[in-house]
Structure 1
Amino acid sequence: MRIATVVAHLVTATAVVAAVGATPGRPPDVLYAAPSGHGSACSSYAPCDLSTARDRVRGLVAHARGDVVVELRGGTYSLTTPLRLGVQDSGAPGHRVVYRAAPGQTPVLSGARKITGFRKTDAAKNVYRAPVPKGTASRELFVDGVRAQRARTTQDPGGFSVSATGFTTADASYASWTNAPGVEVVANNGWKQLRCPLASITPGAAGGSALTVDPGCWTNNHTSVPNPSFPFNGAGLPSLDRVTWLENAYQLLGTPGQFYLDSDAGYLYYVPRPGEDLAKADVELPVAPELLDLAGTPGHLAPLNDTDWRATYTGAWNYSSGRHLGDLGADVHYTQNNGDAFSYTFTGTGIQVLTETNADEGDMDVYVDGVKKQTVSAKSTERLAQQAVVSVTGLAKGKHTVRVVKAGGDYLLIDAFTVIPDVVAPVHDIAFEGITFAYATWTAPSTAGYVDNQAGILWDPATRTPTRIPAAVQVHRGARIAFTGVTVQHTGTSGIDLADQTQDSTVSGSSITDIGGSGVDVGEVDDYYQTQPALMTSGNTVAGNVVQRPGQEYQDAVGVWVGHSRGTTLSHNDIGYTPYSGVSIGWGWGWASSCALQAKQGLADPCLHGTTYTGGNHVVGNHVHSVMGVLFDGGPVYTLGGQASGSEFVGNVLGECINGCNMIYHDEGSSLWNTHDNVVEFSNGSLWLNLWTPTIHDDSIHGNFTDTDRYNNSGTDIDLTPSTVVTDGRWPPAAQAIIDAAGPHLPPAPVLDDDDLRISYTGSWSSSGSRSYGDLENGVHYTQQDGASASITFTGTGISLLTETNSDEGDIGVTLDGADKGTVSANTAQRQTRFPVYSVTGLAAGRHTLTVSKKSGTYFLVDGFRVK
């Protein structure tokens, strides 16, 4: 029955991806755009530019009989500001607006400035310099498609002590650095990465150096870290109390592949890698903050506290702060007198008033513009904070006054309110197919710092409210937006963001790689209280994608992040090579867990307790691997917070954990998960399951296959069946079926990394990542057991085994299509990586199976295979 369920999910996921194609039955209207397009004809003979094509679409949609298509010819569309699409650019169900690549061509929407004119300026350090316009701001550089690194110190330079304003060191050389306000201090601490610019570097009192951190950033990241607790963050507060590295000083240049941008002087400095010729290289400096922006109305909605100056309280109201009952800002206004009123005048189309429900609450009358609209009740058997008891929507846009009058009960509490400033009108029915989005930068951390919460969710430096890394491709309040076969790469931002309660939208069959922040974001963290379906994130799908190497700038970011959501599906993606978790889904910690469970966890009493609309989500058939390369306390898939309805976690293959990991990690508050028929491999000493605290409750966990029996179940009312443990890689048929079905099933690349699911490892194997030796994707699989083997079945005419050779390696046995091919040796005096120790060519075209096994030596390493 369980395998049948997995197969059913496979069929569903395939149907979802297939459904994103063109509208059948009617020929589309086609406009043509080109990088050098001009005029307004937008024809195949006279293509126009992108913005003109967009404007032309507006006149076609109303009368379209099928899709309206903008076909983009190949080449680079250089952007300094994003292509913006609003409600007026939408299609309709049955005839979408489609932006697609011309057949066989690659259009690239690029936010980079191409840099030329390099001259060597420091022969000793091999530093080259090129001019850029003064004031050019960027935090990234790419040379021939390879990310460069801002000049930085070595990892964990040591010798620093925390001072009242930053750090001190006995090393006097720091005081000689120029442009101190451009220097950034970075700290990796637990699950966070924290960044702050410096204010100054001065000689220390004892002859060393004193590094003064920007005062505002020092407050946010060290002395007064934002900590509102549930539903915005947990209790842990790692702070900027160490120096993991310093970056962005000219004096740090010298390491190949590093750069320094002197914005004020207008120069870019770079130290080329071996083999790079800057006279010929494609050097791209991202300058655009965003590449594509789709925006409906009203945009982002967030609750305002009851202390907002526009709120008016009439009668005998009292104010209570520091309540620790889950109220927004830990405060409320309250009254015990019937007839006392709260009023708020706003411009918009609606308002929601958040209050506390409890047994001592009662009725309230709601007036809009002087007319009574409804009577609602805040009476309940359980205390619940931040409840949207009053929801007034659908008003004509304009100036309105809402008035809430106490009509019964012992108390009326006003905690917060959310103004809906505009009509709810999503940007909708727009598709993007086969387009590449590349090169975007986010420069805010250079001046305000990076105030981390968790998983790429930050605190706004000014308001200290939740925010996040912006994305190169952003959808704000979208509906039926589809990204199919697109590429997002080489950014200092996140990749694709389905934000502001976007619904029924899809990212499928796409590649999101080499990303500064998170690969794909879905949903919000501050709409937990929402009761209106039109204002919820729902029905979105992320399926069949390759999401690799996120967090390249901000190492707390993840492959796919999902906040509060209903009916989100993450299906058959390949997610890997992450510095923190692969997938993070849910928010709120123990917010939705009962006060009794919070007390059982040892949290403060009274408790911070409310509700969320999250639920009905599906995490199905994903391959999540090579995670936790830098930070700690995460895992391949990490869930967080409670749900209003059940979700499913099924058919996933999770492997290659590097640091501080839990393979299936249902963290604080996680509830109503049906977690079954997953495969955990190469856990490398990690727990296959961690339910560490009682606020994790009512989860069902069964039918899983793992390579370890280690787990922790400290949850409440958990229906747990221990996993089937397989320690030698000989997975039973049911597990092998899950492995075979996982991932996006894309055509094989010519080079397969060692964690590709098509490679089977038999015997005692482990994996190792973050090695920094030059391995493919920075990791290998290895064994010390003679006879342990790795096999791959491939289609082609040749194959090479890529391994590491060294003095501790030995002989490797080779079998091809069942025939013994003898042995090869990986024993060399010096370390060599990505070495093709065995190669064969000239095979008959078709399927072949190569098996390699350890014969001697201390280690045998598999780094990958190259197929011909």
Structure 2
Amino acid sequence: MELFVSVKNGADANAGATAEAAVRTLERARELVRMKLAEGYKQDITVWISGGRYELTEPLRFDEGDSAPEGYSVTYRSAAQGEEGATISGGSAITGWEPYDANIYRVRLNEGCAIHTLYENGERALTARSPKQGYHVVAGKGDGDSRSGFRFLKDDIPLFEHHAGGAQVHIWPGEGEWNWFTETKTIDRINWEEGFISFKEPAPWGIDQGSRYRVQGALSVLTEPGEFYFDASGGELYYYPRQLPIEEQVIVAPAMNRVIELVGGSHDKPVKGIVLEGLTVECSDYAREYRMPDSNCERAESRHGLVYLENACGSSVRGCHLRNSGFSGIVLNGYCQGNEISGNLIEHTGYNGIYVIGIAPGEGDYASAEQADVSKGNLISNNLIRFGGELVGHSSGIQLYQSGSNEVSHNEIHGMPRYGISLKGLRQGAMESSYYGTEVTWENHWDFTHTRNNLITRNNIWDVMKDSQDGGMLESWGAGTGNRIIANRFHHSGIYFSFGFCIYLDDASDYYQVSHNVIHDLYSAGSGVLWFVIFSKGIGNRIENNLLVRNDARAAFGTQEMAGEANRDVTILRNVAVNSGDQLYHFVNWKDDRLQEADFNLYANGAKELTVSGIYGDDKRGLVPIPWEAWRQMMDGKFDAHTLNSDPMLITEGEGGSVQFSLDPGSPAYGLGWEAIDMSGMGLKESFPFPREWRLRDC
């Protein structure tokens, strides 16, 4: 069965059975499909959506009544591709602008409107701010609760008229040290004489000297093109356009946090078999304030995406262009199984590119941890995800929280402020004493961590970790066991301030396999330091057969035990590291059970002496590196007895992000058991549906 929709030539009074008799709205097409399904129709259904712009007044929602029959699909497909295709928008153009001063225009909006983000000609406009780029730095703690305000240098913040509900602070809380999460706080009081700001509601962590922040949302700091200010009390929007005349620019205000929803009624009544294909979906809203996750669990008010799935099974988002979101591009929330997210271009998101959110330990009306394990078995493949985190500083290209047995493959991710890919859960030391009536013990705590048995493979990640610290290009914290990080490419990415890593198995990341990855051309920049290329906390992690080339790191491999979470039985085996660390290993708080095995590696450090740091040396703290031979003699020669310091005979073909590495057949690495790594299939497949010139594959 086929139905046809045309915003240009259709009419909802039509039957929609032919292109000449198309309906006009997506809502009417959905209604006709639903009626057909209610009659018991059991065949594939395709809704052809003609080119044009479909502006919604509320999210387009599909539920179990729109589900495809078992074994069939209901596909909503753009009839044309590219700029000629169908665009579904969560916003509408603003008109009626009038001059306010030489550069700024003003318009009065309808009562009840609120503007949290704005787009001009498809490019995000920014809330008026100070500074324009980067951040100011907190001068010191405020009076009383350090979470509720801070002191600032008087010359940092320009004078502006402040009133209730107006200006805000976008800040990285964390005592001036932890640049892990951002929040947006509304200012309660600001005193320029004393250099003090207080918030209406406290941040979750204290704020101290060195915390980064900016002030935003005041008319007097609206001074550059592409900035806006919304006066909530007067309902007036002020904008400094990038181009003139303003009447010829398409300036869009989003009206909803989600544009398309696939939401079933319950676990027992999921939406199934819906396919969104070849559509452009754009322009969703943000929020007045953003609060960081609670123990990695995203708050309900921030679980929004251009496309949102919940209680959804066997549905697909394929070949779509998702752009200009307030929050994330795609969100799979709660019960989501067997869905496919593939071949999409996801860009200019306010938050994450793709966000999969399972059930937090103890959350929901479940009888056991096993029943709560409802987010799993999804495919996230062959997507280009770029330029995210435009509104939330700790954003990822792809984040899995409490979600397992997913395949994340062949994606290309770049231009993210924090992680490329992140796996999140809750470490045992931060869990409550019991969940679902079951006491939490060391032996059973992994039952409550559902981010497990994920396959992360053949992805191409570069230019991430742009605006945060103590993170990694691929990161894990408190996730479950059995995750596999295999045959990915990480390259051309820097640590711009403080410190960070490439593959970062953070606290309570246990029993991971990290193998056949290629990591090259990572660097330290400014005040930033790439500490370790691969950093393994946790238990039983196996780091095998990875190729590290030209990485400006303190050490190739590092380990650390902290937060009361064990770090032991790590295996580092058959890796090749070429000019990738001043030290080969650095062990923070070494213990004799830290490594289960370390051997058959090959290092080539140029003229540098081979050393290991973190073992007790002359300074009794392990900061002075010990010679390589001293390391090999430790513990009766247990480690690196066969490891070589030798030329690997590396072959380099091409350059930039497309470079291909291999080892000459005569390389001594093969005598150590090295397995060749095929780099040709890392990143996007040739079937990626968007034009090659859109990919920006070379960094």
TM-score (norm 2): 0.74
Contact 2:138 2:210 in 1 (8 A): no
Match of 1:199 in 2: 188
> Kindly tell me: are residues 136 and 539 of structure 1, through their superposed partners in 2, closer, same or farther at Cα, counting changes over 3 Å?
same
Alpha-carbon separation, structure 1, partners of 2:208 and 2:265: 37
* Residues 705 and 723, structure 1, Cα contact 8 Å, conserved in 2: yes
CA offsets 1:207-252 (integer angstroms, 9 cap, x no match): 34543310xx21x4346xxxxxxxxxxxxxx789845100010010
User: SS in structure 1 opposite 2:34?
Assistant: helix
Q: Provide the secondary structure at the position in 2 that maps to 1:500.
A: strand
Does structure 2 retain, via aligned residues, the 8 Å contact 1:135–1:263?
no
- 1:743 CA drift (Å): 2.9
Secondary structure of the 1:710 match is strand
Q: Are 2:500 and 1:661 aligned?
A: yes
Kept after mapping to 1: 8 A contact 2:423/2:475: yes
Identity across aligned pairs (percent)?
Answer: 22
| Range that drifts further, 617-626 or 171-180 | 171-180
Change (3 A) 1:740 1:276: farther
Separation (CA, whole Å) in 2 of partners of 1:195 and 1:549: 20
State which of 742, 748, 753 in structure 1 corresponds to 2:683: 742
Question: What CA deviation, in whole Å up to 9, does each residue of 1:482-523 have, x standing for no partner?
Answer: 011011110111111111120000100001110001111113
Q: Please say if 1:515 is aligned against 2:349.
A: yes
Distance 1:30 1:181, change over 3 A: closer
What does the per-residue CA deviation read over 1:825-868, in whole Å, with 9 as the maximum and x for residues that have no partner?
Answer: xxxxxxxxxxxxxxxxxxxxxxxxxxxxxxxxxxxxxxx7xxxx
Residues 468 and 269 of structure 1: CA distance in aligned 2, closer, same or farther (over 3 Å): closer
Q: Could you tell me how far apart the structure 2 residues matched to 1:128 and 1:477 are? A: 44
2:393 alignment counterpart: 555
Query: Would the aligned equivalents of 2:295 and 2:426 in 1 still touch at CA under 8 Å?
Result: no
Q: Distance in 2 between matches of 1:208 and 1:291?
A: 45
Deviation at 1:113, TM superposition (A): 2.2
Q: What is the CA–CA distance in structure 1 between the aligned matches of 2:143 and 2:95, rounded to whole Å?
A: 43
Aligned to 1:798: none
Q: What corresponds to 1:651 in structure 2?
A: 487
Report the counterpart of residue 484 of structure 1 in structure 2: 318
Whether 1:711 aligns to 2:533 is no
SS of the residue corresponding to residue 256 of structure 2 reads coil
Over aligned residues, Cα RMSD in angstroms?
3.1
Q: What is the distance in 2 between the residues matched to 1:702 and 1:517?
A: 33
**Partner of 2:324: helix, strand, or coil?**
strand
Match of 2:414 in 1: 576
Structure 1 counterpart of 2:21, one-letter code: A
Distance in 2 (CA, whole Å) between partners of 1:426 and 1:239 is 47
Query: Counterpart of 2:556 in structure 1: which amino acid?
Result: R
Q: Is 1:672 paired with 2:511?
A: yes
Query: What amino acid maps onto 1:710 in structure 2?
Result: A
2:128 corresponds in structure 1 to: 151
Q: Which residue type is aligned with residue 494 of structure 2?
A: I
Q: Distance in 2 between matches of 1:30 and 1:688?
A: 56
Determine the structure 1 residue equivalent to 2:276.
Answer: 432
User: 1:58-73 alignment to 2 at 5 Å?
Assistant: 58-61=34-37, 62-73=39-50
Corresponding residue for residue 262 of structure 2: 294
* Distance of 2:398 and 2:316 partners within structure 1: 17
Go from structure 1 to structure 2 and tell me whether the alpha carbon gap of 1:213 and 1:670 turns closer, same or farther (over 3 Å shift): same
Cα pair distance change 1:513/1:210, threshold 3 Å? same
SS of 1:251's equivalent? helix
Select which of 114, 119, 123 maps to 2:93: 114
For 1:33-80, what per-residue CA distance to the aligned partner results, in whole angstroms no more than 9, with x for missing partners? 536642252232232211121111122225334211221111111113
C-alpha distance in 2 between matches for 1:85 and 1:748: 30
In structure 2, the residue corresponding to 1:698 is in which secondary structure? coil
| Cα distance change, pair 158–664 in 1 and its aligned pair in 2 (3 A) | closer
Counterpart check, 1:732 vs 2:662: yes
| 1:47 matches 2:15 | no
Q: C-alpha separation between the residues in 1 aligned to 2:336 and 2:343?
A: 19
Q: Deviations over 1:375-413 (max 9, x none)?
A: xxxxxxxxxxxxxxxxxxxxxxxxxxxxxxxxxxxxxxx
The aligned residue for residue 32 of structure 1 is 5
Question: Does the residue aligned with 2:165 lie in a helix, a strand or coil?
Answer: helix
Structure 1 residue aligned with 2:590: none
Structure 2: how far apart are the matches of 1:557 and 1:33? Answer: 36
- Please give the alpha-carbon distance, in whole angstroms, between the structure 1 residues aligned to 2:204 and 2:378: 34
Q: Does 1:163 align with 2:104?
A: no
C-alpha separation in 2, matches of 1:520 and 1:606: 32
Of 614, 620, 630, which aligns to 2:467?
630
Return the alpha-carbon distance in structure 1 between the equivalents of residues 309 and 41 of structure 2: 24
CA distance in structure 2 between the partners assigned to 1:179 and 1:106 by the alignment: 45
Q: Which runs of structure 2 are paired with 1:797-808 in the superposition (5 Å)?
A: none
Aligned length: 559
Provide the C-alpha distance between the structure 1 equivalents of 2:199 and 2:683, rounded to a whole number of angstroms.
47
Alignment-derived partner of residue 215 in structure 2: 246
1:187 is matched with 171
- Offset at 1:652? 0.4
- Superposed, 1:66-465 pairs within 5 Å as 66-104=43-81, 105-123=84-102, 126-154=103-131, 155-158=134-137, 160-161=139-140, 162-164=142-144, 165-169=148-152, 171=154, 176-189=160-173, 190-201=179-190, 203=191, 207-208=193-194, 210-214=196-200, 217-218=201-202, 220-222=203-205, 242=211, 244-273=213-242, 275-298=243-266, 424-445=268-289, 449-453=290-294, 457-459=297-299
Residue 454 of structure 2: aligned partner: 617
Unpaired runs of 5+ residues, structure 1, are: 1-27, 224-237, 299-422, 461-466, 596-604, 758-863
The answer (yes or no) to whether the contact 1:678–1:704 under 8 Å persists in 2 is yes
Distance 1:89 1:65, change over 3 A: closer
CA distance in 2, matches of 1:741, 1:212: 49
- 1:702 is matched by which residue type in structure 2? E
Residue 336 (structure 2) pairs with residue 502 (structure 1) = yes
Give 3-state SS (helix, strand or coil) of 1:94's partner. Answer: coil
Provide the C-alpha distance between the structure 2 equivalents of 1:535 and 1:606, rounded to a whole number of angstroms: 19
C-alpha deviation, 1:473, in angstroms: 1.2
Cα distance in 1 for partners of 2:507, 2:159 equals 45
Cα deviation, residue 688, structure 1: 5.1
Q: Distance in 1 between matches of 2:651 and 2:253?
A: 45
Q: Could you say which residue in structure 2 is the equivalent of 1:542?
A: 380
Residue equivalent to 1:588: 426
- Is contact 2:329–2:352 with CA below 8 Å preserved after alignment? yes
Q: Which amino acid aligns with 1:560?
A: I
Distance in 1 between residues matched to 2:414 and 2:330, nearest whole Å: 17
Task: Report the TM-score when normalising by structure 1.
Answer: 0.60
- Closer, same or farther: CA 495–735 of 1 in aligned 2, 3 Å: farther
What is the DSSP-based 3-state SS (H/G/I as helix, E as strand, rest coil) of the residue aligned with 1:57?
helix
State how far apart, in whole Å, the 2-side matches of 1:669 and 1:210 are: 39
Find the aligned partners of 2:210 and 2:298 in 1 and give their Cα distance.
18
Cα offset, 1:607, TM superposition? 11
The answer as to whether partners of 2:358 and 2:373 remain within 8 angstroms in 1 is no
The 1:267–1:749 alpha-carbon spacing in structure 2 relative to 1, beyond 3 Å, is farther
Distance 1:241 1:681 in 2: 31
Q: Matched residues in 2 for 1:208 and 1:222: separation?
A: 23
Give the 3-state SS of the residue equivalent to 1:502 in structure 2: strand
Q: Provide, for residues 126-167 of structure 1, a one-character-per-residue CA deviation record: whole Å limited to 9, x for no partner.
A: 222233324321211111111111100014335754233523
Over 3 Å counting, the alpha-carbon distance change for 1:91 and 1:81 in structure 2 is same
| Helix, strand or coil at the partner of 1:672 | coil
Amino acid at match of 2:184: R
Aligned partner of residue 51 in structure 1, secondary structure: helix
Q: What corresponds to 1:860 in structure 2?
A: none
Which consecutive unaligned segments of at least 5 residues does structure 2 have? 174-178, 434-440, 525-529, 561-566, 580-649, 653-660, 664-674
